[in-house]
Protein backbone atom coordinates (compact mmCIF):
# COMPACT_ATOMS: atom_id res chain seq x y z
CA UNK A 1 0.00 0.00 0.00
CA UNK A 2 1.34 3.43 -0.90
CA UNK A 3 0.38 5.95 1.75
CA UNK A 4 3.06 8.61 1.42
CA UNK A 5 3.47 11.14 -1.32
CA UNK A 6 6.61 13.25 -1.68
CA UNK A 7 6.46 16.74 -3.16
CA UNK A 8 9.88 18.12 -4.15
CA UNK A 9 9.23 21.85 -3.98
CA UNK A 10 12.61 23.42 -3.36
CA UNK A 11 13.38 24.62 -6.89
CA UNK A 12 13.90 28.31 -7.61
CA UNK A 13 11.24 28.58 -10.32
CA UNK A 14 13.42 30.95 -12.29
CA UNK A 15 11.14 30.85 -15.32
CA UNK A 16 8.53 32.70 -13.28
CA UNK A 17 10.71 35.46 -11.89
CA UNK A 18 9.95 37.99 -10.56
CA UNK A 19 6.69 36.31 -9.36
CA UNK A 20 8.72 33.56 -7.67
CA UNK A 21 11.19 35.88 -5.97
CA UNK A 22 9.31 35.72 -2.67
CA UNK A 23 6.46 33.33 -3.56
CA UNK A 24 7.02 29.60 -4.08
CA UNK A 25 6.29 28.51 -7.65
CA UNK A 26 4.10 25.76 -6.17
CA UNK A 27 1.82 28.46 -4.70
CA UNK A 28 1.06 30.06 -8.07
CA UNK A 29 -2.68 29.61 -8.66
CA UNK A 30 -4.53 28.09 -11.57
CA UNK A 31 -7.75 30.07 -11.10
CA UNK A 32 -8.00 30.29 -7.31
CA UNK A 33 -6.17 27.14 -6.27
CA UNK A 34 -2.39 26.87 -5.84
CA UNK A 35 -0.63 24.27 -7.99
CA UNK A 36 0.46 22.24 -5.00
CA UNK A 37 -3.12 21.88 -3.75
CA UNK A 38 -4.10 20.23 -7.04
CA UNK A 39 -1.22 17.80 -6.50
CA UNK A 40 -2.21 17.06 -2.90
CA UNK A 41 -5.83 16.46 -3.96
CA UNK A 42 -4.62 14.00 -6.61
CA UNK A 43 -2.55 12.17 -3.97
CA UNK A 44 -5.52 12.01 -1.57
CA UNK A 45 -7.70 10.59 -4.33
CA UNK A 46 -5.04 7.91 -4.87
CA UNK A 47 -5.27 6.92 -1.19
CA UNK A 48 -2.24 8.74 0.21
CA UNK A 49 -2.61 10.11 3.73
CA UNK A 50 0.84 11.58 4.40
CA UNK A 51 2.12 14.44 2.28
CA UNK A 52 5.87 14.86 2.63
CA UNK A 53 7.02 18.18 1.26
CA UNK A 54 10.63 19.10 0.50
CA UNK A 55 10.90 22.85 0.75
CA UNK A 56 13.69 25.38 0.90
CA UNK A 57 14.29 28.97 1.86
CA UNK A 58 11.41 31.28 0.97
CA UNK A 59 8.84 28.48 0.81
CA UNK A 60 7.06 29.00 4.11
CA UNK A 61 3.80 29.96 2.38
CA UNK A 62 3.32 26.27 1.52
CA UNK A 63 3.22 25.33 5.22
CA UNK A 64 0.84 28.18 6.01
CA UNK A 65 -1.45 27.13 3.18
CA UNK A 66 -1.90 23.63 4.59
CA UNK A 67 -2.71 24.90 8.06
CA UNK A 68 -5.74 26.31 9.82
CA UNK A 69 -6.11 30.08 9.64
CA UNK A 70 -8.23 30.91 12.68
CA UNK A 71 -8.35 34.64 12.21
CA UNK A 72 -9.35 34.47 8.54
CA UNK A 73 -11.90 31.72 9.14
CA UNK A 74 -13.42 33.73 11.97
CA UNK A 75 -13.57 36.88 9.84
CA UNK A 76 -15.41 35.28 6.90
CA UNK A 77 -17.70 32.99 8.90
CA UNK A 78 -21.28 33.48 7.80
CA UNK A 79 -20.32 35.44 4.66
CA UNK A 80 -20.53 34.32 1.03
CA UNK A 81 -16.76 33.80 1.03
CA UNK A 82 -16.90 31.09 3.67
CA UNK A 83 -17.34 28.34 1.08
CA UNK A 84 -14.10 29.36 -0.67
CA UNK A 85 -12.17 27.63 2.09
CA UNK A 86 -14.17 24.38 2.06
CA UNK A 87 -11.84 22.51 -0.30
CA UNK A 88 -8.65 23.39 1.53
CA UNK A 89 -10.29 22.61 4.89
CA UNK A 90 -11.21 19.13 3.55
CA UNK A 91 -7.63 18.58 2.41
CA UNK A 92 -6.25 19.54 5.83
CA UNK A 93 -8.68 17.16 7.54
CA UNK A 94 -7.89 14.20 5.31
CA UNK A 95 -4.11 14.00 5.60
CA UNK A 96 -1.05 14.98 7.56
CA UNK A 97 1.77 17.15 6.29
CA UNK A 98 5.41 16.85 7.10
CA UNK A 99 8.25 19.01 5.87
CA UNK A 100 11.96 18.96 5.43
CA UNK A 101 14.30 21.39 3.75
CA UNK A 102 16.68 20.79 0.91
CA UNK A 103 19.49 23.05 2.09
CA UNK A 104 21.02 23.39 -1.37
CA UNK A 105 19.23 23.13 -4.69
CA UNK A 106 21.26 20.26 -6.15
CA UNK A 107 18.68 18.64 -8.42
CA UNK A 108 15.50 16.58 -8.32
CA UNK A 109 17.34 13.41 -7.32
CA UNK A 110 18.92 15.24 -4.40
CA UNK A 111 15.53 16.70 -3.40
CA UNK A 112 14.02 13.21 -3.35
CA UNK A 113 16.92 11.92 -1.27
CA UNK A 114 16.35 14.83 1.15
CA UNK A 115 12.82 13.47 1.60
CA UNK A 116 14.05 10.08 2.85
CA UNK A 117 13.76 11.25 6.45
CA UNK A 118 10.00 11.78 5.90
CA UNK A 119 9.37 8.59 3.90
CA UNK A 120 11.40 5.87 5.65
CA UNK A 121 11.83 2.50 3.97
CA UNK A 122 8.63 2.00 2.02
CA UNK A 123 7.41 2.55 -1.55
CA UNK A 124 6.12 6.06 -2.12
CA UNK A 125 4.65 8.39 -4.72
CA UNK A 126 6.27 11.57 -6.03
CA UNK A 127 4.36 14.52 -7.47
CA UNK A 128 5.99 17.51 -9.14
CA UNK A 129 3.28 20.05 -8.53
CA UNK A 130 4.19 22.13 -11.56
CA UNK A 131 3.04 19.26 -13.76
CA UNK A 132 -0.70 19.68 -13.40
CA UNK A 133 -2.77 16.68 -14.48
CA UNK A 134 -6.45 16.42 -15.21
CA UNK A 135 -7.92 12.95 -15.64
CA UNK A 136 -11.16 11.09 -14.94
CA UNK A 137 -9.23 8.73 -12.69
CA UNK A 138 -6.27 10.62 -11.24
CA UNK A 139 -2.88 9.85 -12.78
CA UNK A 140 -1.45 8.82 -9.40
CA UNK A 141 -4.42 6.46 -8.86
CA UNK A 142 -3.74 4.86 -12.23
CA UNK A 143 -0.10 4.38 -11.25
CA UNK A 144 -0.81 2.98 -7.78
CA UNK A 145 -3.19 0.41 -9.29
CA UNK A 146 -0.35 -0.64 -11.58
CA UNK A 147 2.09 -0.75 -8.66
CA UNK A 148 -0.17 -3.21 -6.87
CA UNK A 149 0.25 -5.58 -9.82
CA UNK A 150 3.97 -5.11 -10.62
CA UNK A 151 5.53 -3.94 -7.30
CA UNK A 152 8.30 -1.92 -8.97
CA UNK A 153 9.13 1.70 -9.71
CA UNK A 154 6.80 3.36 -12.22
CA UNK A 155 7.10 6.63 -14.13
CA UNK A 156 4.32 8.43 -15.98
CA UNK A 157 5.22 9.01 -19.62
CA UNK A 158 3.72 10.88 -22.53
CA UNK A 159 4.50 11.38 -26.20
CA UNK A 160 6.25 14.64 -26.94
CA UNK A 161 7.38 16.36 -30.13
CA UNK A 162 11.02 15.28 -30.57
CA UNK A 163 12.24 18.87 -30.74
CA UNK A 164 11.25 19.18 -27.05
CA UNK A 165 13.26 16.16 -25.90
CA UNK A 166 15.91 18.38 -24.29
CA UNK A 167 13.37 19.41 -21.62
CA UNK A 168 12.64 15.90 -20.34
CA UNK A 169 13.96 12.52 -19.29
CA UNK A 170 13.31 10.32 -22.31
CA UNK A 171 12.89 6.53 -22.16
CA UNK A 172 13.41 3.49 -24.35
CA UNK A 173 11.41 0.36 -23.63
CA UNK A 174 9.23 -2.49 -24.78
CA UNK A 175 5.44 -2.31 -24.57
CA UNK A 176 4.44 -5.27 -22.37
CA UNK A 177 0.75 -4.36 -22.06
CA UNK A 178 -1.24 -1.67 -23.79
CA UNK A 179 0.36 1.65 -22.76
CA UNK A 180 2.75 -0.04 -20.29
CA UNK A 181 6.45 -0.13 -21.11
CA UNK A 182 9.27 -2.04 -19.49
CA UNK A 183 12.02 0.57 -19.53
CA UNK A 184 15.49 -0.43 -20.70
CA UNK A 185 17.10 2.98 -21.04
CA UNK A 186 16.51 6.58 -20.08
CA UNK A 187 18.41 9.73 -20.95
CA UNK A 188 18.09 13.10 -19.22
CA UNK A 189 17.33 16.01 -21.55
CA UNK A 190 18.81 14.55 -24.77
CA UNK A 191 19.02 16.56 -27.98
CA UNK A 192 16.43 15.24 -30.45
CA UNK A 193 19.01 13.25 -32.46
CA UNK A 194 20.10 11.42 -29.27
CA UNK A 195 16.60 10.79 -27.85
CA UNK A 196 15.91 7.05 -27.55
CA UNK A 197 12.19 7.64 -28.33
CA UNK A 198 9.53 10.34 -28.18
CA UNK A 199 8.31 9.12 -24.77
CA UNK A 200 9.10 11.57 -22.00
CA UNK A 201 8.86 11.23 -18.23
CA UNK A 202 6.48 13.69 -16.57
CA UNK A 203 6.18 14.66 -12.92
CA UNK A 204 4.57 11.55 -11.43
CA UNK A 205 6.57 8.65 -10.02
CA UNK A 206 6.10 5.61 -7.83
CA UNK A 207 9.46 4.71 -6.33
CA UNK A 208 10.62 1.68 -4.40
CA UNK A 209 12.74 2.66 -1.39
CA UNK A 210 16.00 1.16 -2.69
CA UNK A 211 16.07 4.33 -4.81
CA UNK A 212 17.47 6.15 -1.74
CA UNK A 213 20.57 3.90 -1.61
CA UNK A 214 21.05 4.39 -5.34
CA UNK A 215 20.66 8.17 -5.04
CA UNK A 216 23.29 8.28 -2.30
CA UNK A 217 25.76 6.90 -4.84
CA UNK A 218 24.53 8.96 -7.81
CA UNK A 219 27.03 11.54 -9.04
CA UNK A 220 25.90 14.90 -10.46
CA UNK A 221 24.79 14.43 -14.07
CA UNK A 222 23.24 16.72 -16.66
CA UNK A 223 23.52 20.38 -15.60
CA UNK A 224 25.70 19.39 -12.62
CA UNK A 225 22.57 18.26 -10.73
CA UNK A 226 21.82 14.91 -9.10
CA UNK A 227 19.24 13.51 -11.50
CA UNK A 228 16.47 11.07 -10.56
CA UNK A 229 16.71 9.75 -14.14
CA UNK A 230 20.27 8.53 -13.51
CA UNK A 231 19.17 6.67 -10.36
CA UNK A 232 16.13 5.19 -12.10
CA UNK A 233 18.37 3.95 -14.90
CA UNK A 234 20.14 1.67 -12.38
CA UNK A 235 16.74 0.19 -11.42
CA UNK A 236 15.75 -0.05 -15.09
CA UNK A 237 18.90 -2.03 -15.87
CA UNK A 238 17.65 -4.56 -13.30
CA UNK A 239 14.32 -4.67 -15.16
CA UNK A 240 12.55 -2.86 -12.35
CA UNK A 241 11.04 0.27 -13.91
CA UNK A 242 7.81 0.59 -15.86
CA UNK A 243 6.57 3.56 -17.82
CA UNK A 244 2.84 4.14 -18.14
CA UNK A 245 1.18 6.24 -20.79
CA UNK A 246 -1.58 7.59 -18.57
CA UNK A 247 -5.12 8.56 -19.49
CA UNK A 248 -5.59 12.28 -19.08
CA UNK A 249 -4.08 15.60 -19.78
CA UNK A 250 -0.94 17.22 -18.43
CA UNK A 251 0.06 20.87 -18.33
CA UNK A 252 3.64 21.96 -17.79
CA UNK A 253 2.85 24.80 -15.41
CA UNK A 254 6.56 25.34 -14.82
CA UNK A 255 6.55 27.11 -18.19
CA UNK A 256 4.59 30.26 -18.97
CA UNK A 257 3.01 28.66 -22.02
CA UNK A 258 1.78 25.61 -20.08
CA UNK A 259 0.60 27.78 -17.20
CA UNK A 260 -1.55 29.91 -19.49
CA UNK A 261 -2.92 26.80 -21.25
CA UNK A 262 -3.86 25.26 -17.89
CA UNK A 263 -5.53 28.47 -16.76
CA UNK A 264 -7.64 28.64 -19.93
CA UNK A 265 -8.50 24.94 -19.75
CA UNK A 266 -9.64 25.05 -16.11
CA UNK A 267 -11.48 28.32 -16.64
CA UNK A 268 -13.36 26.85 -19.61
CA UNK A 269 -14.20 23.66 -17.68
CA UNK A 270 -15.37 25.62 -14.67
CA UNK A 271 -17.79 27.58 -16.80
CA UNK A 272 -19.26 24.61 -18.63
Q: Which residues lie near ligand UTP (CB under 6 A)?
A: 8-15, 25, 54, 102, 105-108, 110-111, 128-130, 254
Q: Which residue, 88 or 228, has its beta carbon nearer to ligand UTP?
A: 228
Q: Which residue, 84 or 260, has its beta carbon nearer to ligand UTP?
A: 260
Provide, rounded to whole angstroms, the least separation between the CB of residue 112 and ligand UTP: 8
Q: Which residue, 113 or 146, has its beta carbon nearer to ligand UTP?
A: 113
Burial 79-104 (b: 16+ CB within 10 A, else e): eeeeeebeebeebbeebebebbebee
Burial class (CB in 10 A: 0-12, 13-18, 19+), 161: exposed
Provide, rounded to whole angstroms, the least separation between the CB of residue 55 and ligand UTP: 8
Q: How is residue 104 annotated by DSSP? A: S
Q: Which residue is nearest to ligand UTP (CB)?
A: 11
Q: Which residue, 10 or 207, has its beta carbon nearer to ligand UTP?
A: 10
Q: How is residue 40 annotated by DSSP? A: H
In order of 116, 120, 166, 214, 225, the CA distances from 210 in angstroms are 11, 11, 28, 7, 20
Provide, rounded to whole angstroms, the least separation between the CB of residue 39 and ligand UTP: 9
Q: Which residue, 226 or 241, has its beta carbon nearer to ligand UTP?
A: 226
Provide, rounded to whole angstroms, the least separation between the CB of residue 78 and ligand UTP: 38
Provide, rounded to whole angstroms, the least separation between the CB of residue 229 and ligand UTP: 12
Distance CA 88, CA 74 (A): 15
Amino acid sequence: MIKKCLFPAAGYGTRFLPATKATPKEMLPILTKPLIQYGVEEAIEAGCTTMAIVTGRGKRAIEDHFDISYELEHQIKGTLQEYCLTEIQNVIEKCTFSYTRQAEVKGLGHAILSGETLIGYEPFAVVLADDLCDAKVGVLSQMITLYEKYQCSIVAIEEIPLENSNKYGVIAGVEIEKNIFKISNMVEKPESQDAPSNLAIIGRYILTPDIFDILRETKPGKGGEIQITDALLIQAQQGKVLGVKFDGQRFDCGSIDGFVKATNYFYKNQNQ
